[in-house]
């Protein structure tokens, strides 16, 4: 390996990591190192064989592997150094990165680091459903890997808890493979994922959906042999007498994604308790100097295109940092107000145009999205499952009063 | 003559309008209602006449480090034919080398669409 | 009758910590032996779900008060201590012995401080009960101090801010991972020439001339002696050898919770409320996680009733938060239910005696705490077998040492590099949460692991917060590769717990045929 110091080290080669690495090279970094724990580049894109990728970034409807391949080729063409099957064991606040692979353990000192570790799925063990501990309970993503990459079906008769996108996509996928999806069970009164998936994964195949229901029991000691579903009251407690047994051999869970931030935590990166990811400014920079973050490890996105765009921003700024450019003062704090669950970035300069991403808490129609008192935008519909992108122009930002150090984002019913 | 009303959920944007399409016995469209934009109306009419879908799935790979090759239709096909295509593709086996875009099945079931690879298949 | 697959001097039934300790003790002698276990891995029953600390002194006093639920109300304090029971003798002797044997067997362990805290007047009364009984008993039982508020917060800074007093013992609890104890004991026995059979449920016992035949799901074993260490299933095994049993078993279940390693700083050792009869309320560090057991011992009819009830978990968390208010449901990464086994003849003690109708069948039914007294228990069992005519001739080459699978996570980078140089598979980290390498997984399989849960217990792969989200499929593929079986043959646990039900396309091809 080259003995010159590494400019930018990117942890994780999913869509955010690949975009960050490519952009860092484009922005002039000589040595960019992309570290991936799996056997191939691309993160989870290779198992997401469904379409719907690239509609924004490429204006084209692509599958996950196709979308990934475009970036894998760019990584290869732009002389980015790649380490596969390599785990980052440690990250320190002064950017010492300890890597481990079949060649050994080594500690590198890159000039800047981009965190793009993605997210993990909430597992059965952390959601506390009454029952034994049988085989046959999978997170939707793990099931997706088995079905689409390894070539095995987790089961033949399936119940899915949670109507997030991965859950719905697996409902269609398993139905197409000849399995029977007997129900998609959702705690909320509405489907959790994108409308496209609701129609094309659920309604297209007449898959029964049980809204405002939960799974109260998992049956089976060694292998799942059924679940009990129950209707929920307003406080989300099962209503006695509404229990119904559904025979099945497999339970899939699509009950939430959690940003992967063990390394961020080790390095002393401040995390947002709501997103579960690093608090970042508009340059995707964390509180730790020289450490940037992007993609699902910052907040869980619903469109890969946004992840790519965020990765590019982090890569470019990490490259600038590596070349000695000083960071700018982030004076204005963005705060989540009424019916806003979170805002990313959480800090801005207030001087340049900025893209704000946010999620609402509750669905609503005919609402006004406000950025402090400087901007208001009417929206016909908002849903927690559809992330909102809002571009706040420099012109609007000029309206910020001198002393103001925060802007509250709110989403209120139009009066 | 009776009027049949079908409800179609529009997927053009997150509004998810419930568009109702009224038609006669011969499925001639009489009226369309409940949309909020032109695109939505067009979507609902097309979806009523013949819902078309992209099929994405896998085929079995042999002599490769990969167990499967991901594939898709290069054009939309009728929704009602998805399962027929799945059954047909279950019997297909492919060998490396293959790359994205390579045709795996030409004009599958005479639907006017090819099945193409979307991933790379190595030894 | 089917041809025996093995001929032995002793068959030990049950691969929990009791059977494991016996087989290890007997491996000192020139005996042909096999341990049979019905599960797909050692430590598959009560041991796996036990709280499983090795403890003494103050904590033992606490347990005496806890178990008083099984005695008539109003029983005086000193009545709770029975110096002459096997149980008490072995607990006292066993703790001392473990202090050296844990190192001998390379079992990961750590002394953790015990703090029994009290807030309300009633609790203080209960705390004083423990204190007084400890002082009356003297010796190690009295080796603790009573500390005030200030002292409490310097030692366990996150406990309930309302606490008024506490009893504190620095070295009365050793934190271990119960399955590792059973596995380590068996591994050492294997090194000394013993065998074990998994998935070998005993379905019958018959007599054949001078021998006995143990019929298992893996075949029959001809043997001279049988040791019944089947714990919760011990009554059924005993009946296979003939009638005349004057004891039964009763089972109590209790829920346990594991929290993410991120919370590890919240507790340094074990923190508990003073025991009241029938209730256990404690929060403790279990390695880098936090383990919670707060609740009652609820009766159940089945030894395998590990059914976890959601409401119990919620109740347990509520109580845990009275001990350490900053604990949170959000950090739960696992919940499970333990089953505790007591005999009905004398809940105070173990049953270690020959079958009334069969003098070569030894029942060893151990009550909790099961692990502390196992070493003296095993010696006692060996003595009984010898008295019954089993010839015990010491091996000259018995080696008491076992080496654990390298714990990659705990090694320095220099040590790691040395290992990777020797075997590059130690450089391939498969489980991120627990930093477990392919090298460790392969070694676990070489030592007998053949299931996903086996890998989990032996290496910790998949035990972290993501519960195998990344490593799960990889572990299954390594298992298939090393065992030379198809991927869909890999089991979670026992033979009837398959992970994957068929190959891709199989259902489509089948339904096509069905139609045709």
Confidence of residue C1 (pLDDT cuts 50, 70, 90): low
pLDDT tens digit sequence for C187-196: 999 999 999 9
Strands (E), C373-447: 429-431, 436-437
Domains delineated in chain A: 8-120+258-322 (3.50.50.60), 123-255 (3.50.50.60), 332-413 (2.60.40)
Percent of chain A with pLDDT over 70: 100
Task: Inform me whether the pLDDT recorded for C262 exceeds 60.
Answer: yes
User: If you average pLDDT over residues C297-305, what whole number do you get?
Assistant: 91
Task: Inform me whether the pLDDT recorded for A91 exceeds 80.
Answer: yes
Cα-trace Rg, chain C: 24
Alpha helices in A95-194 (DSSP H): 140-145, 165-176
The pLDDT, as a whole number, for residue C85 is: 84
pLDDT tens digit sequence for B62-82: 999 999 999 999 999 999 999
Record: contact A37-C500, CB cut-off 8 A: no
Number of helices (H), then strands (E), belonging to chain A: the values are 8, 30
Alpha carbon separation from A415 to A336, A365, C3, C333 (Å, rounded): 20, 12, 86, 44
Q: Average per-residue pLDDT in chain C?
A: 93
The pLDDT, as a whole number, for residue C112 is: 95
User: If you average pLDDT over residues C263-277, what whole number do you get?
Assistant: 91
Q: Three-class SS of residue C418?
A: helix
User: If you average pLDDT over residues C30-37, what whole number do you get?
Assistant: 97
Choose the closest CB to B118 out of A63, A196, A203: A63
Set of chain A residues whose Cβ sits within 8 Å of the Cβ of B81: none
User: What is the rounded CA–CA span in Å between residue C60 and residue C57?
Assistant: 5
Q: Per the CATH hierarchy, to which homologous superfamily does domain C108-175+250-343 belong?
A: D-Amino Acid Oxidase, subunit A, domain 2 (3.30.9.10)
Largest CA distance in chain C: 83
CATH class of C408-489: mainly alpha
**CATH code assigned to B56-117:** 3.10.530.10
Ranges in chain C annotated CATH 1.10.10.1100: 408-489
- Omega of the bond prior to C369 within 30 degrees of 0, cis? yes
Q: C6-47+178-248+346-387: which CATH topology?
A: FAD/NAD(P)-binding domain (3.50.50)
CB neighbours of C184 closer than 8 A, spacing ≥ 6?
C105, C106, C107, C402, C404
Confidence of residue C74 (pLDDT cuts 50, 70, 90): low
Residues from B in contact with A at Cβ < 8 Å: 9, 11, 14-16, 36, 51, 53-58, 60, 66-68, 70, 72, 79, 82-83, 86, 100, 118-120
Minimal CA separation from B94 to chain C, in Å: 14
Confidence of residue C68 (pLDDT cuts 50, 70, 90): low
Please count the residue pairs, one from chain A and one from chain C, whose beta carbons lie less than 8 angstroms apart. 147
Q: Does the beta carbon of C508 lie under 8 angstroms from any beta carbon of chain A?
A: yes
User: If you average pLDDT over residues C142-157, what whole number do you get?
Assistant: 96
Confidence of residue C516 (pLDDT cuts 50, 70, 90): very low
Task: Inform me whether the pLDDT recorded for B29 exceeds 70.
Answer: yes
pLDDT tens digit sequence for C450-493: 999 999 999 999 999 888 989 999 999 999 999 999 999 999 99
pLDDT tens digit sequence for C362-374: 999 998 888 999 9
Could you state, in order of their start, the residue ranges of all structural domains in chain B?
4-49, 56-117
> What region does B91 belong to: left with phi over 0, alpha with psi -120 to 50, or beta?
alpha
Pairing type for strands C270-272 and C54-55 reads unpaired
Cα-trace Rg, chain B: 19
The pLDDT, as a whole number, for residue C66 is: 67
**Residue A241 CB coordination number (10 Å):** 7
Strands (E), A249-308: 250-253, 257-259, 291-293
The pLDDT, as a whole number, for residue C202 is: 98
User: What is the rounded CA–CA span in Å between residue A183 and residue A158?
Assistant: 7
Query: Would you tell me which residues 74-113 of chain C have a C-beta closer than 8 angstroms to some C-beta of chain A?
Result: none
Alpha carbon separation from A376 to A89, A407, B44 (Å, rounded): 45, 12, 32
SS (H, E, C) chain B: CCCEEEEEECCCCCCCCEEEEEECCCCCEEEEECCCCHHHHHHHHHHHHCCEECCEEEEEECCCCCCEEEEEECCCEEHHHHHHHHHHHCCCEECCCECCCCEEECCHHHCCCCEEECCCECC
pLDDT tens digit sequence for C313-371: 999 999 999 999 999 999 999 999 999 999 999 887 899 999 998 999 999 999 888 89
User: If you average pLDDT over residues A120-137, what whole number do you get?
Assistant: 92
Q: Average per-residue pLDDT in chain A?
A: 94
Choose the closest CB to C508 out of B67, B68, B86: B86
Q: Does the beta carbon of C480 lie under 8 angstroms from any beta carbon of chain A?
A: no
Q: Does the beta carbon of A198 lie under 8 angstroms from any beta carbon of chain B?
A: yes
């Amino acid at each position: 390996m080259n003995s010159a110091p590494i400019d930018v080290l990117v942890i994780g080669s999913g869509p955010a990591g690949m975009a960050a690495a490519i952009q860092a090279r484009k922005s002039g970094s000589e040595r960019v190192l992309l570290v991936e724990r799996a056997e191939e580049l691309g993160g989870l894109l290779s198992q997401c064989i469904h379409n719907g990728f690239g509609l924004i970034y490429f204006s084209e409807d692509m599958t996950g592997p196709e979308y990934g391949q475009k970036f894998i080729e760019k990584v290869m063409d732009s002389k980015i150094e790649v380490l596969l099957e390599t785990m980052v064991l440690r990250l320190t606040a002064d950017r010492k990165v300890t890597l481990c692979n079949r060649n050994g353990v080594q500690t590198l000192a890159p000039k800047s680091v981009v965190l793009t570790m993605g997210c993990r799925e909430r597992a059965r063990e952390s959601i506390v459903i009454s029952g034994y501990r049988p085989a046959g309970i999978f997170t939707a993503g793990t099931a997706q890997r088995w079905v689409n990459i390894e070539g095995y079906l987790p089961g033949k008769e399936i119940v899915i808890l949670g109507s997030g996108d991965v859950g719905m996509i697996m409902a269609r996928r398993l139905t197409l493979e000849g399995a029977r999806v007997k129900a998609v069970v959702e705690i909320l009164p509405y489907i959790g994922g994108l409308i496209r998936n609701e129609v094309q994964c659920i309604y297209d195949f007449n898959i029964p959906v049980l809204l405002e229901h939960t799974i109260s029991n998992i049956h089976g000691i060694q292998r799942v042999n059924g679940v009990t579903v129950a209707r929920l009251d307003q406080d989300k407690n099962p209503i006695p007498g509404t229990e119904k047994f559904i025979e099945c051999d497999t339970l899939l869970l699509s009950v939430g994604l959690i940003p992967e931030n063990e390394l961020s935590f080790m390095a002393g990166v401040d995390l947002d308790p709501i997103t579960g990811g690093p608090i970042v400014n508009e340059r995707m920079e964390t509180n730790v100097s020289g450490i940037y973050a992007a993609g699902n490890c910052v907040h869980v996105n619903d469109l890969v295109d946004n992840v790519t765009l965020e990765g590019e921003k982090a890569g470019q700024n990490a490259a600038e940092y590596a070349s000695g450019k000083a960071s700018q003062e982030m004076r204005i704090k963005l705060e989540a107000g009424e019916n806003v669950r979170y805002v990313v970035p959480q800090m801005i300069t207030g001087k340049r145009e900025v893209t704000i991403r946010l999620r609402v808490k509750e669905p609503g129609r005919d609402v006004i999205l406000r950025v402090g008192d400087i901007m208001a935008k009417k929206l016909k519909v908002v849903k927690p499952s559809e992330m909102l992108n809002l571009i706040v122009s420099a012109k609007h930002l000029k309206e910020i009063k001198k002393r103001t150090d925060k802007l509250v984002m709110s989403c209120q019913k139009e009066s | 003559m009776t009027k049949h009303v079908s409800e179609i959920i529009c997927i053009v944007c997150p509004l998810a309008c419930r568009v109702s399409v009224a038609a006669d016995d011969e499925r001639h469209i009489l009226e369309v209602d409940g949309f909020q934009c032109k695109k939505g109306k067009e979507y609902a009419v097309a979806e009523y006449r013949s819902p078309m879908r992209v099929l994405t799935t896998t085929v079995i790979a042999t002599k490769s480090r990969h167990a499967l090759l991901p594939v898709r239709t290069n054009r939309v096909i009728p929704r009602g034919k998805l399962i027929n295509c799945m059954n047909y593709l279950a019997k297909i086996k492919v060998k490396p080398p293959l790359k994205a875009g390579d045709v795996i099945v030409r004009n599958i079931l005479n639907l006017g669409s090819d099945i193409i690879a979307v991933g790379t298949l190595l030894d | 009758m089917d041809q025996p697959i093995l001929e032995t001097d002793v068959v030990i039934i049950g691969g929990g910590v009791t059977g494991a300790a016996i087989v290890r003790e007997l491996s000192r002698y020139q005996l042909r032996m096999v341990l049979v276990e019905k599960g797909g891995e050692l430590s598959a029953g009560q041991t796996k779900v036990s709280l499983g600390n090795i403890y003494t002194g103050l904590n033992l006093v606490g347990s005496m008060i806890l178990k008083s639920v099984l005695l008539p109300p109003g029983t005086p304090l000193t009545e709770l201590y029975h110096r002459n029971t096997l149980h008490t003798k072995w607990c006292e002797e066993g703790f001392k012995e473990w202090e050296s044997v844990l190192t001998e067997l390379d079992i990961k362990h750590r002394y953790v401080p015990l703090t029994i805290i009290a807030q309300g007047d009633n609790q203080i009364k209960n705390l004083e009960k423990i204190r007084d009984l400890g002082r009356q008993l003297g010796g190690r039982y009295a080796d603790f101090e009573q500390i005030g508020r200030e002292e409490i917060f310097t030692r366990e800074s996150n406990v309930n801010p309302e606490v008024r007093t506490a009893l504190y013992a620095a070295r009365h609890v050793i934190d271990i991972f119960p399955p590792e104890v059973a596995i380590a004991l068996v591994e050492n026995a294997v090194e000394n020439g013993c065998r074990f059979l998994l998935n070998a449920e005993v379905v019958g016992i018959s007599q054949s001339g001078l021998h006995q035949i143990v019929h298992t799901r893996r075949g029959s074993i001809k043997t001279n002696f049988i040791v019944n260490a089947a714990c919760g299933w011990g009554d059924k095994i005993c009946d296979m050898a003939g009638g005349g049993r004057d004891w039964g078993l009763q089972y109590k279940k209790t829920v346990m919770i594991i929290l993410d390693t991120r919370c590890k700083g919240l507790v340094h050792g074990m923190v508990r409320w003073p025991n009241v009869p029938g209730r256990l309320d404690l929060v403790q560090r279990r390695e880098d996680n936090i383990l919670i057991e707060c609740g009652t011992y609820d009766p159940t009819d089945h030894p395998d009733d590990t059914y976890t009830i959601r409401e119990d978990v919620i109740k347990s968390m509520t109580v845990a938060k009275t001990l350490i208010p900053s604990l949170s449901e959000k950090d739960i990464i696992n919940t499970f239910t333990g089953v505790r086994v007591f005999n009905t003849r004398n809940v105070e003690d173990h049953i270690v005696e020959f079958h009334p109708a069969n003098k070569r069948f030894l029942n060893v039914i151990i009550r909790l705490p099961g692990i502390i007294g196992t070493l003296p228990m095993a010696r006692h069992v060996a003595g009984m077998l010898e008295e019954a005519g089993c010839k015990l001739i010491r091996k000259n080459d018995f080696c008491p040492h076992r080496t654990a699978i390298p714990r990659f996570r705990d090694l320095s980078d220099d040590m790691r590099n040395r290992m990777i140089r020797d075997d590059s598979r130690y450089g391939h980290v498969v489980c991120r949460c627990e930093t477990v390498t392919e090298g460790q997984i392969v070694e676990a399989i070489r030592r007998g692991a053949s299931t996903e849960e086996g890998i989990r217990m032996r290496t910790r792969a998949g035990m972290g917060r993501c519960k195998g989200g990344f490593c799960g499929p990889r572990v299954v593929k390594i298992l298939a590769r090393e065992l030379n079986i198809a991927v869909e043959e890999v089991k979670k646990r026992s033979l009837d717990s398959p992970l994957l039900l068929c190959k891709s396309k199989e259902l489509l091809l089948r339904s096509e045929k069905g139609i045709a």
